Structure 1
């Protein structure tokens, strides 16, 4: 049986000013990212043949955490805002699942970034959710973050080269529902 470990872009601080590659060393700035970085180290020590998959915000067809938050913010059920300065490369859950299965059945060993093709802020992503779901996007509050990773885009060049799975960008998979 083959080990495929799912990690996160949260292992990075966002201070690089460019997309993060698989060779970049983790430099987390909050506990979740530190825990993910420690888990990567443990997995690679225990099983050097494991695939360590770094991914980003995971979205689906309406059931993701970011999607629920957007709906709740628009409806006024929660207080808060979506950050304009947190840049990510969201991935569709179906694309991520297909890539994980492909890696599980393959022989790739090491770190690989599996994320979507589009860099968007959390606020921009909320706007895409609102448009897709027929919500009033003007009701989405925006803010700047404090003490959280800013720009932690993952470079997906290796994944695009190695995998048959196509990693769609958020602008493509967040199209309006028919």
Structure 2
């Protein structure tokens, strides 16, 4: 199978490249500025804000499957319009699309969200991800939207880096005790995304971890795994802080998990 990973130099993209190459697929991956670290892929520069360039690259590589893991939190055009460009280009060559989305599409008012829950974003980034979902569903209705949560690894994720920096005093800040998500391990997420790519599934699927934990609890789990005293982690409440965004967002992955062989572990398990 020929697989194109859009946004392959990101944290998830790198793992998607590794797993795709290990499975023996012909892999190409795009990057905006510099190639990722994973071997086994042809690295292709692409700015998905450029519709013509996106169409040209897809036509030249001719993938069977496209996984879009590209986004920029502060850039509507990349996150929303760029996703539409990827969907249009994927449809033009008749390839299958798996678009990676986020629990940021929800406000947290309902706390627990199923796959058929209607997005109600509370931030500009969430609104951009929701717009991307709408474009993908309209342009490639047979494709998959894979919504996920905080992505954790074995030391390489932004959240893990922040935990180390807070514990060492390298940065100032706190980990919130009332900001709850369902963290997922990057290996589990990549495996689930590729499994969905190989399947005949369509529509929205939730692929997050089994445990709902606060950012502070998650930080403590990371600290214990890495031999850091959790008492060194500063904590506080997000409510009343004035920071925008949802507090408690939990993705119900029950329906998706029933169709997946990949087991989506919880943070208390994969960080134990």
Match of 2:108 among 6, 14, 21: 14
Count of residues in correspondence between the two structures: 174
Could you say which residue in structure 1 is the equivalent of 2:144?
Answer: 51
* Structure 1 position 136, deviation (Å): 1.5
**Unpaired runs of 5+ in structure 1?**
none
Query: Alignment partner for residue 97 of structure 1, among 190, 196, 199?
Result: 190
Whole-angstrom distance in 2 between the partners of 1:136 and 1:33 = 34
RMSD: 0.8
TM-score (norm 2): 0.63
Partner in structure 2 of residue 114 of structure 1: 207
Structure 1 ranges of 4+ moved more than 2 A: none
2:271 match: 174
User: 2 CA distance for matches of 1:133 and 1:85?
Assistant: 23
Q: In structure 2, list runs of 5 or more residues that go unmatched.
A: 1-94
Deviation, structure 1 residue 147:
2.6
C-alpha distance in 2, partners of 1:134/1:60?
16
Structure with larger RCO (C-alpha < 8 A, sep 6+): 1
TM-score (norm 1): 0.96
Q: Within 5 A, what are the aligned runs for 1:25-64?
A: 25-64=118-157
Rounded to whole Å, the distance in 2 between the matches of 1:159 and 1:169 is 15
Q: Which has the higher strand share?
A: 2
Pick the structure with greater CA Rg. Answer: 2
| Secondary structure of 2:256's aligned partner | helix
